[in-house]
Structure 1
Amino acid sequence: MTTNTRTGGADLLTVLELLAEEAPPSRFEELLQSARRAGQAPDDIARLERAVSLARGVHALQGRRRQREDGLADLVDTARDLTFPYELDALLRVVTRRVKRLLNFDMTCVALMDADGTLYARTSEGATTALANEFRIAPGRGLGHRALTTGAPVWTADYPGGEGIEACEETDVVRAEGLRALMAVPLLNGNSPVGVLYGATRAVRHFSPDEIGLVCSLAMLAAVAIERAERLEQARGEVDELELDGLRTRTSLVRLQQLNEAHSRTMSLLLAGADLTTVAKAAGDALDGTLQLRDPAGRLLAGGGEIPDLDEEAVARTALDAHTRRTAVAASGNIWVAPVIAGAEDLGFLILRPATALVGEDERLLHLTAQAFAIQLLLQHSTALAEGPVRDELFDDLLATSSRSAHRLRHLAKRAHRIGLDLDAPHVLVVGRPEGGEHGRALVWASSYAHRMSGLKTAHDGCILLLLPGDDASAAARAVADELSPLLGHPVSVGAAGPGRGPAEIRRMHQEAVRCLDVLTALNGAGSVASVRDLGFLGLLLSDDHDVDSFIESAIGPVLGHDQDRQTDLIATLEAFFAAGSSPTNAAEALHVHPNTVSRRLERISELLGPEWAQPDRTLEVQLALRVLRARNVLQQQPNTEAGQADAGPAARSTG
């Protein structure tokens, strides 16, 4: 009995020694089996079993304590890691990886909450399908929303067999991944839900309170870190936006400074008296494009260059829109149109084709340039109005002075020189009669036009008279009609004469221009344009100097030049053709040539004079020119013959 007691006490001591050595549980089982084989008393065996049971409890308690200590250490490490300034995605990867390792999960996932309450997967760890990174769970469904609603973790040891779990997107992920146990822990920052942390295993598992507590602690740390990461990303985005705004502001300030300098240069050019073309080139360079100034009718007043492939109809429509809005408007083809206006007065518009797209500051410079041109045009109008009485009086005196008053003409030439007008240069005189509209509006336009063209203007008998530099009366008349008619909204009849040099020619040109205007009226040509040269033989009759050479040149000049250059006789063919009643066959008989020869000569004449020479009105002029040419040749030869007879007369008489 004593020996058994000692043996029982030794076994109990051995249990304490194993417990002190932290021996594995199998050693306790071996000790218990050894005592049973030794045949110890039942009371000793019972005491030994009790001691082994207590030792196992102590051992388990120590294991849980070590696990808790390891968990706390890992929790501290995780908290330290979460203090680093991760980007949001990198932070979520750290969280899912740590939770998976600490709790020995097969898969972990973080789902964040959208603005409408939907949970969407942001990152996962241990997933085997793409579905884990794509699911979205509508509000009120699945364990995740249940955890958010209760504010506490929700778990199940066997998800497919769990009660009260309705099918949703969460269920699809569980089935696709082959998961069994699932835990959903809410990510809360204070009372604000951030998302849900999921942990799952592919085997049935009952989660211990320590495991659930550890996951909740990790979830709290993760929620704070996620909120901080989101704020950090937002702050970085705001900083980037501020830096971009700063760059834009600096760029705008530099551009505004450049535009201010460009506008100052434009105004300096205008104040220095530069012409509109120079200003247009400078403004176009500042806007990095080609700039043109057009009048209200769309005609070019000044330009910094040509604008190829310009759709004039589209420009006209855009100009109307620009004047309506009173601002620059973009047209097709990278074209901008800006109105040039002063109050309610339409002075024209600018056309700009920039090399690059315009920004707000460039549009502002275009608007300021249009205003600068408006000021310059107003100054020109004001100057024209201020000088108008003096210039009108000079023009009236020139028209009233006879060519026989040499002293008076010299005095008028000096007056013209004082106002910058050189009357010895070629000038044309244009007489325009508006067939409707306001006469006062026409006079104001005439003052501006005369100033712009460096000419003179006056008014007689309801007509506007313009003395303009140039040597093409027809072109001057058409230019006046093209600009004045749209302004008045009515046709304008225009007669012109010239060119002429010197003050003595002005009265004669005026008379011829008035005669042209009267002829247009007599021929029911109201609203038409003509010069003495345009009227053909009528112009020859109307002209005071009866410029026969000009008439012949306009009617058959190309044929005369061809005969002279190539030693042909097309003039004789024309005379024979008309003498034969416009019959090529009869003309061939008169010329003693083959009819085909006459036909070829007539084809050549058509090439020189144009196919319309055979029309009745042109035929009359050609025949008249031929007759005048023949008569002039006869008259030029007659004096030579008479002179020869006069020289021979005395000699003959003396001989006789």
Structure 2
Amino acid sequence: MATGREQQPGRSELDEVMENVARVHQELEERREREGALNALIDTVRELAEQQTRADLERTLTRRIRLLLGLDAAFVGVQTTDGARVVHAPDGHVSTMLNMGMATPDGVGLGSWAQQANAPAWTSDYLTDDRFDHDEVVDDVMLSEGLRGLIAVPLARDATSSTSLYAGARSVRSFTPEEVSLVSTLGQVAGALLRRHTAAEEAEADRRDLRRRLELTEERARDRRPPLLDALLSAVLGGAELSALAAETAERLGAAVCVRSPDGRELARAGTPDGGWPAPEDVRRAAPWTRPTGVPVAVDGRTWAAPIRARDDDFGLLLAVFDAPGGAEAGESVRAAAKALSVTALLRVHGPISEAQIRDELLSQLLTESTATDPQAARRRERRARHLGIDLAEPHVVTAAECGPGEPSAAVLSWADAHTRRCGGLRTVQGERLVLLLPGSDPGAAADEVAAELRRVCDRPVGVGGAGPASGIEQVRRAYEEALRTLEALRALGREGAAACARDLGFFGALLSDRPGVGEFVDAELGPLLDYDRQHCTELAATLEAYLATGGSPTHAARRLHVHPNTVSRRLERIGDLLGPDWHAPERAMELHLALRLTRLRDLVGAGAPG
């Protein structure tokens, strides 16, 4: 009998030792890979948990899963209540077919299979796999994108929608058990985070609804109609016509009213009394008694007559017919209404000038008449503005809107009057353009708000140019000229009906602005990137320039920079974090490329300048 370990024929003890060493090395390598995957998973979970909105969470998730698995594209599919799947947060080099908002049918494809099983589902070659139902639209998209290997994992589901994560490769590709486990774990974490964001969004929606209800309740609580005379005088000073004043009077009195001239002609009427109007002879009999004293007189049990007069001027008679007999309180209400109508008559006789006309005229002068050589005129206009509640020393923005063809309609002017009074600004009409002067320092936001409101009023898109902020009379005038240039630029760029300020137009805005400058344009486009390079001694700007110069190819950019393609991919990811997710959109990429060229030129000029 042999003692000790039997030695296999043909194998030496050295071979066994080498085999054991190789096995140990393999186990160590597998352990390192598992540790690396675990660390990557932990980093991904930490980054996902830091996202503040659902959209940011989805973008981070698709980017991370694509990089972790080394795939070509990833996206999130959301099935809505109408049964369609809508693409969210596409990541990777994808065409317009697989873009934000693309809808696909429900009940087909790999995602529906995964949702039904509530577990990850994958295929090495999507188009040839017959384990799930296919759809012509989805297959056309997959064929157009060139995607073959695909994995889908369900993220979240509720009563109104379900969400799945997709990641794919442009080659036949199998997914290892470790990769499936990684995606499944990440999907569970992301699903929990998505449910948290959904709950937060629902809570925010409920909070807004409660706030809206509270504001509505407070508004109703505050809705205590002012005294009749004050309300009618406000309408008079606002430029209301006699017919509108008669309607307002009838509504507030709860009676049918009629305004007659001194010779008995009917000037305006509102409402129809149930028992009809009093007989003309009854009115004539009562009218003389009202005129000497100005005291209203009861014509009959339900009708009151009050003179419309001021000083010694007689402007006519107000009749009010109530549904039921009224006492002295009804007579005093009719008397107050007659006083308001007498103010209307005085304004007509002596040439009415409403506050709206004064505000319109002031802004027109500010926009078109320079006071650079006339300090006294500037001080007069500043005083007029202060009397109207406008402090021109504070920042203001100017918006110019094209509501045409033709001059702005009455509905547009009515909205402009209400908006400027609410905001504490001014409005005027210059040619066919509506111009607003509004307090604030963000011309882009002001232009967007004005465009949205005018779209609602005009029922069509309205082009709006914004400029500012401006402080002082001369700056307001220059801001108006810049707003007009921006409006013309929008038309020249084929963006009729859009809203923008100079900074929204990139390099074109730098040319249009009253303060043009290459430095401002470069800082606006590349500021965060250049600051990061300076603070961390990195080469993100050079990487971006190489990437754009090589047609968006990380491989070619890496060859030009003499670095590994993975290094370029990591740098591009950081560039996206600094410049925003739309940095590689065609228009934005063009402006970034131009800004990089200008930066290089500026550095060359600075280096060659004399010390």
Task: Give your verdict on TM over 0.5.
Answer: no
Which one has the largest radius of gyration? 1
Q: Point out the structure with the larger helix share.
A: 1
- Which category of TM-score, normalised to the shorter sequence, fits these structures? 0.3 to 0.5
TM-score by length of 2: 0.43
